[in-house]
Structure 1
Amino acid sequence: MKRIILPALAMLIGVQTPAHAINDKYRQQLEQSGCTQMSELEGCDIHKSQAENAKAGFSNPQAPAATDSATTPTPYAGQWVAKSDSGATVATIRIDAKEQVWVNGKRVNAKRTDGTLQFRQGKITFTIQGDRRLTGEDYWTDSDAGTKGPIEIE
């Protein structure tokens, strides 16, 4: 009995090959399309670009972006003016493509919060909406004076 089991076991171990879930070509198609194996089952097309699949509603948060942030414009970039209700300029704001913010020429820290870019200088908090289709959503508030006003792009 031992004479049969040992050679059969040795032959079984020698014949076994590693199992791979996907091959290199399929993996590259998934990476280029921004799909995952699960999203492909839901309709993501591996023969389309990542941008086309994102437009169709499929996105892979683990996939690297198709373009780097230097070439993709941020909705916040540009020259902005915070105005009071009377129309006087409260602050001039400059935001670059890397979302670095300067208020009246001074660099301030900014953070993204719930679809907006928020930053503060002194007692004034500035909030700029990321969705440029929404109008009248960019504003500043002065917590000390209790005033509020619009922010407009130049």
Structure 2
Amino acid sequence: MNKAILPALVILIAAQAPAYAINDKYRKQLEQSGCTQVSEAQGCDIHKSKAENAKAGFTNPALESATDPAVDTAITPTPYAGQWVAKSEAGKTVATIRIDAKEQVWVNGERVNAKRTDGTLQFRHGKFLFTLQGDRRLQNQDYWMDSDAGTKGPIQIE
């Protein structure tokens, strides 16, 4: 008897359909109301309009900036914006980096092209490759590498 229960249980578990967090109707209600699942748990009413929920203090800035072209991207700043300093292991300044709100990058006053890749912003200046982590909660993850000399060092925000 016990020998039949275990294989039957394994087959039952393997044959189960995946569970999805929300269905299509609920997703549409969230979109029309301007709520998220988190804000709904905090009191946002999915049966009201976006305007009514906004009056009540519930807004979804990520959704608004993605759907409304009038929303300025400068309101949601990039995590890379600011003055940065690349230093050697000895503490000497290797480069000064400036990044504006549109993620335009200048290294030692010279404009360089930058690209986002895997949650980082990467750019080159000469033989140096600079990598800045997008998640500012992660410490000591910003670095530079010299491809010729094989050296690397930290980058710190000022």
Question: What range is the shorter-chain TM-score in?
Answer: 0.5 to 0.7
Distance 1:93 1:147 in 2: 18
Letter in 2 for 1:145: A
Q: Can you give the 5+ residue segments of structure 1 that lack an aligned partner in the other structure?
A: 1-26
TM-score by length of 2: 0.62
Match of 1:134 in 2: 138
Q: For the pair shown, which has the larger CA radius of gyration, 1 or 2?
A: 1
Q: Cα–Cα, structure 1 residues 72 and 32, in superposed 2: closer, same or farther, change >3 Å? A: farther
Q: Can you give the 5+ residue segments of structure 2 that lack an aligned partner in the other structure?
A: 1-27, 47-52
TM-score by length of 1: 0.64
Distance 2:89 2:123 in 1: 21
CA RMSD after TM alignment: 3.4
Aligned-pair distance for 1:33? 1.1
Aligned residues of 2:65 and 2:72 also touching (Cα < 8 A): no
Aligned residues of 1:32 and 1:50 also touching (Cα < 8 A): no
Give the 3-state SS of the residue equivalent to 2:31 in structure 1.
helix
Percent identity, aligned pairs only, is 67
Distance 1:115 1:132 in 2: 11
Q: Which runs of 4+ in 1 moved over 6 A?
A: 59-62
Q: Cα–Cα, structure 1 residues 33 and 85, in superposed 2: closer, same or farther, change >3 Å? A: same
Deviations 1:6-57 (A, max 9, x none): xxxxxxxxxxxxxxxxxxxxx9x8356166xxx8xxx895444214xx6xxx
Letter in 2 for 1:79: Q
Match of 2:59 in 1: 49
Distance 2:123 2:135 in 1: 17
Distance 2:142 2:69 in 1: 28
Q: Cα–Cα, structure 1 residues 74 and 94, in superposed 2: closer, same or farther, change >3 Å? A: same
Residue-pair matches, total: 118
Greater fraction helix:
2
